[in-house]
Structure 1
Amino acid sequence: METLQLGNIKLTWLNGGVTYLDGGAMFGVVPKPLWAKKYSPNENNQIELRTDPLLIQANGLNILLESGLGNGKFDEKKKRNFGVMEESSVLTDLDALGLSPDDIHIVLMTHLHFDHACGLTELKDNQWVSVFKQAAIITSQIEWNEMRDPNIRSKNTYWRENWEAVSSQMKTFEKEIEITKGIKMVHTGGHSNGHSIVIIEDGDETLLHMGDIMPTHAHSNVLWVLAYDDYPMDSVYQKQKWMKTGLEKQVWYSFYHDAYYRAIKWDLTGKQVIDEVKRIR
């Protein structure tokens, strides 16, 4: 497991599973000759996308950022459609760190699409139950509303089995919320109407987790947004805002879906990598 020390805050990436999705969909209107130079597709034009939660240990709290693919959520049709090659081993990784699911105090959800939220529940005795029973699960109010009442476009990604069992644990916010000293969530919209980002700060070090507004390092160009984005111009605006702020402060950017990098620091131009945490492959 890769780690990053951010002042007194320890970050550890866990294995949440892997999907292979169409590269064209992941890069929207960007021509393949451009994006393929930065993120190689396979023979079926699919790209490898991790779904790896980040364990944040800060101020005596164990905080999970995203939840992975979980286990048992994908029949053969879904595995084929979503290119699921590996399900989650988050609980195994937590056990290796001396932690159980009940040791997780908070789960932060940038949004609640299936590839982020499947790890919140598991099937026991033919019933979906919460995995992290002692945790508050935090997402924006807009996202929580849409999760429970999806529109015609979003109903294929907001699954009932991912929210019903954890509804009593949900805590929502409007514009932003301080989770604990040095960690906050900020609502952005863009990828989904309720999408949020997470900002982690300690001393002179800052990390921005941009969720699916910037799912991989290859999406750092502010115009490279996903065909999956419900509000692409909002994604562009938020990327412009947070790339400007982040590059000026020399922050870390972390990625939930990246198969190659866990986190990157760019120079002021945003083109040169000056520090990195590579995924062990």
Structure 2
Amino acid sequence: METLQIDDLKFTWLRGGVTHLDGGAMFGVVPKPLWSRKYPSNDNNQIQLRTDPILIQWEGQNILVESGLGNNKMDEKQKRNYGALEESKVDEDLQSLGLTPEDIDYILMTHLHFDHACGLTKQENDGFVSAFPNAKIVSSKIEWDEMRNPNIRSRNTYWKENWEAITNQVIIFEGEWSLGPIRMVHTGGHSDGHSILVIETGEQLLIHMADIMPTHAHQNVLWVLAFDDYPMDSISAKQKWMKIGLEKNAWFLFYHDAIYRAVKWEQDGKKIAATIEREK
């Protein structure tokens, strides 16, 4: 497991599973000869996308960012369509750190699409129960509302088995929510309720832009996903937070990137200055 220690914050990437999605959909209108220079694809034009939660440990609290794919949520057709070749090993990784799912205090959900939210619940008998029964689960109000009442476009990604068992654990916010040095900021874009994480400690800044910048190859503010419901909002948010991050020499953290866990760019944004690589 890869880690990053910044002051009194420790970040550890857990193994939440993997998907393989169409590269064209993940890079929108960007031609393949351009994006394929930055991110590899397989023979089916799919790119590997991890679904790896970030464990933040701060002042004795265990905070999970996203929840992974979980286990036994997909049938064989879904596994094939989403290229889900590996399911979650979050419980095993927590155990290796001397923790259990009951030790998680907060789960910060940037949004609630299935590849981020399947790990929130688990099968028990004939139904689903909370996978992290003691955690407060934080989401923007807009996202939580759409999760429970999806529209014709979003209903394929907001699954009732991911929310029905956790309703009494959810904390919703409008605009911003904070816990110590960690802020969740609503941006919209990828989904109407999408949020990012902004973490400031001392002189250090870390930004997790979730699915408005799912991999390091999406650094260009115009490279947005065909999956985005509001692409111009994604572009606007990326413009704002990339500018701030580059000026402050920020670490950019990733949930989906199969190559890097975190990246720093040089101030002009053209070259990578530092990385934490994912162990293969």
In the other structure, the counterpart of 2:88 is 88
Q: Counterparts of 1:190-209 in structure 2 under 5 Å? A: 190-209=189-208
Paired residues of 1:263 and 1:276 also in contact (CA < 8 A): yes
Q: Counterparts of 1:197-236 in structure 2 under 5 Å? A: 197-236=196-235
Q: Counterparts of 1:115-264 in structure 2 under 5 Å? A: 115-179=115-179, 181-264=180-263
Give the counterpart letter for 2:198 in structure 1: I
CA drift at 1:169: 0.3
Give the counterpart letter for 1:14 in structure 2: L
1:264 is paired with a residue whose SS is strand
Give the counterpart letter for 2:156 in structure 1: N
Paired residues of 1:6 and 1:201 also in contact (CA < 8 A): no
Runs of 4+ in 1 over 4 A off after TM superposition: none
2:86 is paired with a residue whose SS is coil
1:34 is paired with a residue whose SS is helix
Q: Which whole-Å CA distance do the structure 1 matches of 2:221 and 2:93 have between them?
A: 34
Report Cα offsets for 1:210-248 as digits up to 9, x if no partner.
010000000000000000000000000000000001000
TM value normalised by structure 1: 0.99
Q: Which whole-Å CA distance do the structure 2 matches of 1:13 and 1:77 have between them?
A: 28
Q: Which whole-Å CA distance do the structure 1 matches of 2:231 and 2:187 have between them?
A: 12
CA drift at 1:59: 1.8
Give the counterpart letter for 1:206 in structure 2: L
Q: Which whole-Å CA distance do the structure 1 matches of 2:270 and 2:115 have between them?
A: 29
CA drift at 1:271: 1.3
Q: Which whole-Å CA distance do the structure 1 matches of 2:139 and 2:54 have between them?
A: 16
In the other structure, the counterpart of 1:2 is 2
In the other structure, the counterpart of 1:52 is 52
- Alpha-carbon RMSD across the aligned residues, in angstroms, is 0.5
The percent of aligned pairs where both chains have the same amino acid is 65
In the other structure, the counterpart of 1:19 is 19
Q: How many residues align?
A: 280
Q: Which whole-Å CA distance do the structure 2 matches of 1:255 and 1:172 have between them?
A: 23
Q: Which runs of 5+ in 2 are unaligned?
A: none
1:223 is paired with a residue whose SS is coil
Give the counterpart letter for 2:54 in structure 1: L
Q: Which whole-Å CA distance do the structure 2 matches of 1:45 and 1:217 have between them?
A: 18
Report Cα offsets for 1:100-143 as digits up to 9, x if no partner.
00000000000000000000000011110001000000000000
Q: Which whole-Å CA distance do the structure 2 matches of 1:211 and 1:259 have between them?
A: 14
Report Cα offsets for 1:130-176 as digits up to 9, x if no partner.
01000000000000000000000000000000000001100000000
Give the counterpart letter for 2:227 in structure 1: Y
Paired residues of 1:265 and 1:276 also in contact (CA < 8 A): yes
2:78 is paired with a residue whose SS is helix
In the other structure, the counterpart of 1:71 is 71
Q: Which whole-Å CA distance do the structure 2 matches of 1:231 and 1:58 have between them?
A: 34
Report Cα offsets for 1:56-93 as digits up to 9, x if no partner.
00122100000000000011010011110000000100
Q: Which whole-Å CA distance do the structure 1 matches of 2:199 and 2:244 have between them?
A: 14
Q: Which whole-Å CA distance do the structure 2 matches of 1:112 and 1:232 have between them?
A: 18
